[in-house]
Structure 1
Amino acid sequence: MSHPLITRLETEFGYPVLTSMADVSSFTEAPGHHVIFVPGDVRRNLETPDVAVILPELRQAFQGRFDCAVAAESVESELREATGVFKTPSLIFFTNGTCTGGIPKVRDWSEYVERITHLLAQPVAAE
């Protein structure tokens, strides 16, 4: 995670960096909606910095209805396997511990808004 725009998510916005699947569980199982940013390889994936800039804007547009974290390289592969969201960069959404879906790659703003509205409205079975 050497890109300054990803580091900014942690330093300026206070997003936690999840370095283990235990961290992922702890973050996603809290009540409410959660988004994990999976950056992928920033050297090969030119869209990663763009998504790092877009995510805080999305959170603000949705008036903080979800909290955000960044997946460390150490958990990316296992997290992608567990959620079935394989392309990077991606935003993976969870509600009360359940993965509700993901948005891979950079999208138009209107598509983000439409898809996030849909993901936040997904019914989640009670435990």
Structure 2
Amino acid sequence: MRRPGATVLIAAMLPLGGVVTAGFAAAEPPPPCAFTLSAPQVVHHDGVDAVAATVAPADCGPPAAPHMSVACVQPADAGAPMQCAQGTGAQPAQVYFTPLVPGVTYTATGRGCGSWIGTDPAPLCQQLGPLTAAF
């Protein structure tokens, strides 16, 4: 046998339940790996001077592994194209921007994505940069 007051009490508590739980947010898990970005530097590549930058895994302890990295270089000139390169797994991403234009400032950016072993890559990649240098 149900008591009429019990139904009213439960119905009155339902709105409060929504208010209490609405303030809680789930914390994001830490990224599985850390990555580093090198500052733009001049290198001799394929017979010409180029501006290079590298994204590489820095710390990726078990049970995690690097999944992908991307390195990009762009001159400060408005409208100048960005050049990017991708590395997979533990292979670093190294980009070469050619031709080198003396007196221009170059910006390097990148991202690194890790994964917990046996799972898909983490949804949030580590954003790196910008780092700039003038040559």
TM over 0.5: no
Q: Which has the higher strand share?
A: 2
What TM-score results when the alignment is normalised by the length of structure 1?
0.24
Higher-Rg member (1/2): 2
Q: Which has the higher helix share?
A: 1
Higher relative contact order structure (alpha carbons within 8 Å, sequence separation ≥ 6): 1
